Structure 1
């Protein structure tokens, strides 16, 4: 959703044009505090990784709750288990990162996490071994934890998070102001049709009826609507061969994402809202 930043600039330009200086200041402040990062997936993943690296559990949970309200709670019910599984994988990544800390901070960060998450995790079988993590000297060599300390598993979790967010943002209903991309595509189709017709009828056309002027205006309008080039996601640089081993927990989610493909995961809700209108 790289076009969001372009629309933000258009809104700011309009406010300045109208002389709404106080509104511009409030708008700029809101942009600085924007938790959605302009719907830039790489920035959202970067923020989550920051919380994990500094062992800020409260910050991570607050940020995930924000994403849950904004995005995940609007997904269809059959997608919710995959989102929950990814959340737990991020919790495990949090613990693995804490276990790799040096000095006394290691056990302190682990015990702090387990004590705060005890009410939520204690009844779940998959978390039973994790409560023993503070007492294991070399968890990366322990059969119960060795998988989670591999770079392949850690990368797969972040790639799964990145793919999920990218897919969901792509399917989210867009406000009217951001529909300029579809307008640009429509103009491009009309321009192509006009060029095709022009090629067929060129021998019979005179200078007076030539559509070149119309084509020029359509071209300018299309370029204006097209906006900036789409962003390149950082995680596309992760070699695929690094993800072929030790990714058992992420396979289910990636399979789900492949099934989702280009289908709108929120189509049911969108169609419901249209029917109400």
Structure 2
């Protein structure tokens, strides 16, 4: 939804044209306080990373609750475990980041997290070892925690979050003002691309070269077929059915 910012400008320009100055002020204030960041995935991920880096547990939980109410709660039931797994991965990233700050695993932020989250997490087996984190001298060398202190795991969590949000936002039904441009493009006849065997071979060669190199980070939320995604946007059926192939955990 990169074009949302352009739509915001159109709305603001129209309000100015009509002389609705008080409405413009209210509109500008709402934009400044916009938690959805204009549906810009990079800005949303950046906000979550900020809460993690400054050890703001309340801010992180409140922001995730907002996203859950906005989109995650509307996903089909079989996708919910994967979303919850991603949420827990962010909590683990929060703990790892706090443990690497001044004071190590014994700092107040780690203890504060475990104390506040005890009622919610104590019944889950995957969190049993984490309540021992403050008592582990070098968790980055521990078999239970070493994976979570690697840059690869930490990056994969953020990649999963980015891909999930990007997929969901692309599938969300849009208001008429935001979708008129894409619908206009779809109604225009598309030129038929002429390809030759040489062209196909060139594409295959490029694809083979990409596969032969180091693979980028992938996750469960980047496995939605592009064709299915495009059809879902055209039909404007929202999230239902478009994410049926999503599952697993980051």
Q: TM-score, with normalisation over the residues of structure 1?
A: 0.72
* Residue number in structure 2 paired with 1:266: 239
Q: Tell me: CA distance 1:256–1:78, structure 2 relative to 1, closer, same or farther (3 Å).
A: farther
2:74 and 2:61 map into 1 onto residues whose CA distance is 18
- Equivalent residues of 2:98, 2:104 under 8 A apart: no
Task: Give matches, 1:103-114, under 5 Å.
Answer: 103=103, 106-114=106-114
Task: Give matches, 1:1-277, under 5 Å.
Answer: 1-103=1-103, 106-186=106-186, 188-189=188-189, 241=215, 243=217, 254-255=219-220, 257-259=222-224, 261=226, 262-263=228-229, 264=232, 266-267=239-240
Write the deviation string for residues 208-231 of structure 1: whole angstroms up to 9, x where unpaired: xxxxxxxxxxxxxxxxxxxxxxxx
Q: Tell me: CA distance 1:139–1:43, structure 2 relative to 1, closer, same or farther (3 Å).
A: same
Shift of 1:21: 0.2
Shift of 1:137: 1.5
Q: TM-score, with normalisation over the residues of structure 2?
A: 0.79
Q: Tell me: CA distance 1:139–1:174, structure 2 relative to 1, closer, same or farther (3 Å).
A: same
What RMSD in Å do the two structures reach over aligned CA positions?
2.3
Write the deviation string for residues 38-81 of structure 1: whole angstroms up to 9, x where unpaired: 00000000000000000000000000000000010111111111
More helix by share: 1
Name the SS of the counterpart of 2:101 in structure 1: coil
Unaligned runs of 5+ in 2: 193-212, 233-237, 243-250
2:13 and 2:187 map into 1 onto residues whose CA distance is 24
Write the deviation string for residues 214-263 of structure 1: whole angstroms up to 9, x where unpaired: xxxxxxxxxxxxxxxxxxxxxxxxx96574xxxxxxx7xx2354146534
- Equivalent residues of 1:100, 1:106 under 8 A apart: no
Q: Tell me: CA distance 1:148–1:104, structure 2 relative to 1, closer, same or farther (3 Å).
A: closer
Shift of 1:266: 1.5
Name the SS of the counterpart of 2:189 in structure 1: helix
Shift of 1:188: 4.3
Q: Tell me: CA distance 1:180–1:11, structure 2 relative to 1, closer, same or farther (3 Å).
A: same
Unaligned runs of 5+ in 1: 194-238, 244-250, 270-277
2:105 and 2:167 map into 1 onto residues whose CA distance is 37
- Equivalent residues of 1:152, 1:242 under 8 A apart: no
Q: Aligned residue pairs: how many?
A: 214
2:214 and 2:60 map into 1 onto residues whose CA distance is 28
- Equivalent residues of 1:98, 1:106 under 8 A apart: no
